[in-house]
Structure 1
Amino acid sequence: MDEFQAANRRKWNELAEVHYTSANSAYGIDDFLNGPEGTRDLHKTELEELGSVEGLDILHLQCHFGMDTLLLARKGANSVTGLDFSPVAIAQARELAERAGIEASFIEGNVYDAPKLIQATYDLVYVTWGTICWLPDIDAWARVVAHFVKPGGRFYFLDQHPVVLSFDDYAPAPHAPVYDYFHKPEPLPFETSDSYADGSAVLQTKRSYEWTHPVGEVVTALIDAGLRLEYLHEFDTVAWKALAFMEPCEGGLYRLPEGMPRLPLSYSISARKPL
């Protein structure tokens, strides 16, 4: 697995550079730093589901360069901590926090190593958008998540639905699934040079590896790790153009074209650790 994780880290180092520095990046650094409050915000789904974070201590796992971490701080969190395996992304997160004048802690490390790197527990553990497809072991991930949730605290998860991962990202029209929905230990290898957040980018690092984790396995892993489910929601929207024929819609999201059958494109989980 080290070989696959190292390849993914190289890819995410380059993606972080593009997403943070490109004028075409959908992340909108200038809007975040200089726009009126609310110009750059979380997506519609998490805004509607997350509720108030006022006064909470928050851990954001797999945080990329920390923009959403800092948005949570702006919403009144008592403290925010972000972790990511990309050293480039973590350096950028620290710089962005300084530029924005927001107090935050950012830690470089593989999510599986997080309990060795962070000596605290949190009111809210937050994991969203494009996260678990990069991980080989969902049970170990769930144990890490549960480790950091305080008794009575909450875990919030939002990501693309594994149904989406069954399709070819680049096919120009609707088509039948081409990948298995169910998990396999061996990763799917991909050779791509584009970025989901910058259509003009051409990456030098092409190889990456992904794993599919069915919804049932994710839910069961969290329950086995000691968390109690509050809800599981499915949505017909997702936060990026996950398939080439998707169309933009409200709240910075994408959906399938009008007239197509509605499929689950993302899903969310809220769970708590018992007192």
Structure 2
Amino acid sequence: MDAFKQSNRASWDERADIHAQDRTGFYAIDRFLGGEDVLYPIEAAEIGDVAGLKLAHFQCHIGIDTLCLARRGAKATGLDFSPHAIAKARELSARSDLAAEFVEGEVYDAPELLGTDFDIVFTSWGTITWLDDIRAWAQAIAGTLKPGGRLYFADTSPAIATHEEIDGVILPHYDWRSAREKPQRFDATTTYTGDETPLVTNFTYEWMRGVSDVIDALLRAGMRLDFLHEHELLPFRLFPMMVEAGGRMFRLPAGMPRMPLALSLGATKR
């Protein structure tokens, strides 16, 4: 594992421990343990019926979404490179009495770690920006799915991820593509949930890429694009000016130009 990934994994180990306590309610763990489905509205509306289907959740973090999908009837397996996240996911599985498997490992190794006969790969919110090889990601998806299996993906739009809010204005700030050996460094003293616990590993590395890079990678891996949707909502404040929009989602304030903040897509393995 290179220095970028080592740093990122150390940060995600810390964040997993903080997020599992959910002191701010960002992950709605209490609501989840109370029996509520806490998938965000976008994927909740689009994922479709998963009952009885074998589902792999790439970059599952502490496993809340994996377990929500298990509650919907999926035979769910979560995969994450953070051992702390996997440990917390297994704890939540036990606490919720929902059966799911959780495997520690790199997303690129999913076919070897999980198998090659899944009906669905699910991945959402804060995923591809942590990956240095989008084509290897797409190949791992295709390799994990059986023929006719499908991908569901939702995340921040790569087009808006290159922007920052500076002095109350949203402006382009980063190159739209990062070289594999030169990711963008981000410094943060605390995690994104609002918990004020200071992070020891207070910086991470992320890779910028275009929407076309994501679609091209999936097509090259033998996937057929079924739909591509854009959304004016995100499940976190990408920019400080964003306001609550209900359903644990955020939008730009009134008076701002409307623009796509998120995208979701479905694809099928040929």
- State TM-score, norm by structure 1: 0.94
Tell me if structure 2 keeps the 8 A contact 1:25–1:198: no
| Alpha-carbon distance, 1:116 to partner | 2.4
| Alpha-carbon distance, 1:201 to partner | 3.2
Counterpart code for 1:2: D
Give unmatched runs, 5+ long, in structure 2: none
1:46 and 2:47 matched: no
**1:73-100 CA distances to partner (integer Å, 9 max, x unpaired)?**
10111x1000000000000111110111
Tell me if structure 2 keeps the 8 A contact 1:136–1:211: yes
Give unmatched runs, 5+ long, in structure 1: none
Once residues 244 and 198 of structure 1 are traced to their aligned partners in structure 2, the CA distance between those partners, rounded to angstroms, is: 12
Match of 1:179 in 2: 174
| Other structure's SS at 1:115 match | helix
Q: Which moved more, 1:90-99 or 1:177-186?
A: 177-186
Tell me if structure 1 keeps the 8 A contact 2:31–2:38: no
Q: After the TM superposition, which residues 11-26 of structure 1 pair with which residues of structure 2 at under 5 Å, given as runs? A: 11-26=11-26
Once residues 30 and 239 of structure 1 are traced to their aligned partners in structure 2, the CA distance between those partners, rounded to angstroms, is: 18
| Alpha-carbon distance, 1:152 to partner | 1.2
Seen in structure 2, the aligned counterparts of structure 1 residues 263 and 201 have a Cα distance that, compared at 3 Å, is farther
**1:86-130 CA distances to partner (integer Å, 9 max, x unpaired)?**
000000111110111111110001111222222242111001000
| Other structure's SS at 2:254 match | coil
Q: After the TM superposition, which residues 124-273 of structure 1 pair with which residues of structure 2 at under 5 Å, given as runs? A: 124-168=120-164, 171=166, 173-185=168-180, 186-273=182-269
Match of 1:99 in 2: 95
Q: After the TM superposition, which residues 2-17 of structure 1 pair with which residues of structure 2 at under 5 Å, given as runs? A: 2-17=2-17
Tell me if structure 1 keeps the 8 A contact 2:28–2:38: no
Once residues 247 and 174 of structure 1 are traced to their aligned partners in structure 2, the CA distance between those partners, rounded to angstroms, is: 15
Tell me if structure 1 keeps the 8 A contact 2:61–2:80: yes
Once residues 239 and 170 of structure 2 are traced to their aligned partners in structure 1, the CA distance between those partners, rounded to angstroms, is: 11
Tell me if structure 1 keeps the 8 A contact 2:159–2:211: no
Match of 1:74 in 2: 71
Tell me if structure 1 keeps the 8 A contact 2:151–2:267: yes
| Alpha-carbon distance, 1:199 to partner | 4.1
Match of 2:115 in 1: 119
Once residues 240 and 121 of structure 1 are traced to their aligned partners in structure 2, the CA distance between those partners, rounded to angstroms, is: 33
Q: Name the % identity.
A: 44
Match of 2:32 in 1: 32
| Alpha-carbon distance, 1:190 to partner | 1.4
- State TM-score, norm by structure 2: 0.95
Tell me if structure 2 keeps the 8 A contact 1:85–1:109: yes
| Alpha-carbon distance, 1:28 to partner | 2.3
| Alpha-carbon distance, 1:172 to partner | 5.5
Once residues 61 and 67 of structure 1 are traced to their aligned partners in structure 2, the CA distance between those partners, rounded to angstroms, is: 13
Once residues 250 and 213 of structure 1 are traced to their aligned partners in structure 2, the CA distance between those partners, rounded to angstroms, is: 29
Once residues 167 and 2 of structure 2 are traced to their aligned partners in structure 1, the CA distance between those partners, rounded to angstroms, is: 34
What is the aligned residue count? 269
Counterpart code for 1:236: E
| Alpha-carbon distance, 1:202 to partner | 2.4
The structure where strand makes up a greater share of residues is 2
| Other structure's SS at 1:133 match | helix
Seen in structure 2, the aligned counterparts of structure 1 residues 149 and 119 have a Cα distance that, compared at 3 Å, is closer
| Other structure's SS at 1:245 match | coil
Once residues 41 and 223 of structure 2 are traced to their aligned partners in structure 1, the CA distance between those partners, rounded to angstroms, is: 25
Tell me if structure 1 keeps the 8 A contact 2:178–2:184: no
| Other structure's SS at 1:168 match | strand
